[in-house]
Amino acid sequence: MAYVVGRFGIASALNQAKLCSPVALSCSTAGNRYSTAPAAGKSRSGVKNIVLVEGVRTPFLLSGTKYNNLMPHDLQRMAFLALLRRTGVPKEAIEYIVSGSVIAEPKTCNVAREAALCAGFSDRTPCLPFAATGVRLVTTVANRLIKEDKQIGLTAACAAGGHGHAMIVERYPSK
């Protein structure tokens, strides 16, 4: 699964409202833009809100079938690229990548770095390997965007059975 997350006000988040189907495990957005107009609303701390912009995932398959010969970073790469296609966010706009898998693959010590390089991201894009707890992945990238005054980050996980997930996180500039 892959998600684009960014920093926006509440009104902008509502403009990017998602229609998610828990049965189909798919999401669609009202538009395909990855940024919206600034909103006046701020969170209680005075910091613009971080919002989920878009998400994608690889299909569920039985263990030991079509994904059998793929590494976790291969699934992540597919999710990264599908997410960028869906959102229109250029690779160069991604400023931080957090990605992980449930079970670490000993052949690749940093699934985030391997997936990013295989997807064509710059070798200068910071990549953090992280456990696949989805909420922690998103909050980690959101906090890094705030702390490092960055705009767009990407987070991904390879969940049980080798399902690749990726997400782009974006924050609205305070300028």
Q: Given CATH 3.40.47.10, say whether it is the number of domain 2-170.
A: yes
Please, which pLDDT band fits residue 140 given cuts at 50, 70 and 90? Answer: confident
23/9 Cα distance (integer angstroms): 29
134/23 Cα distance (integer angstroms): 19
Tens of pLDDT, residues 12-61: 433 443 322 222 223 333 343 444 333 444 444 565 666 667 888 888 88
87/33 Cα distance (integer angstroms): 6
The kind and range of the H/E element at 115 are helix 111-118
Q: Find how far residue 53's CA is from the centre of its chain.
A: 9
CA dihedral 136, 142, 146, 148 (to 10 degrees): 80
pLDDT value of residue 125: 93
Please, which pLDDT band fits residue 7 given cuts at 50, 70 and 90? Answer: low
- Domain residue limits, the chain: 2-170
Token pair of 47, please? 């910091």
Does residue 48 or residue 125 have the better pLDDT? 125
Q: Give the predicted TM-score (pTM) of the model.
A: 0.58
98/62 Cα distance (integer angstroms): 26
Q: What is the DSSP letter of 96?
A: -
- How confident is the prediction for the chain on average, in pLDDT? 70
Residue of 98, 79, 74, 77 lying closest to 27 (CA atoms):
79
Token pair of 81, please? 């690229």
User: How big is the CA angle at 79 (ends 5 and 154), to the nearest 5 degrees?
Assistant: 30
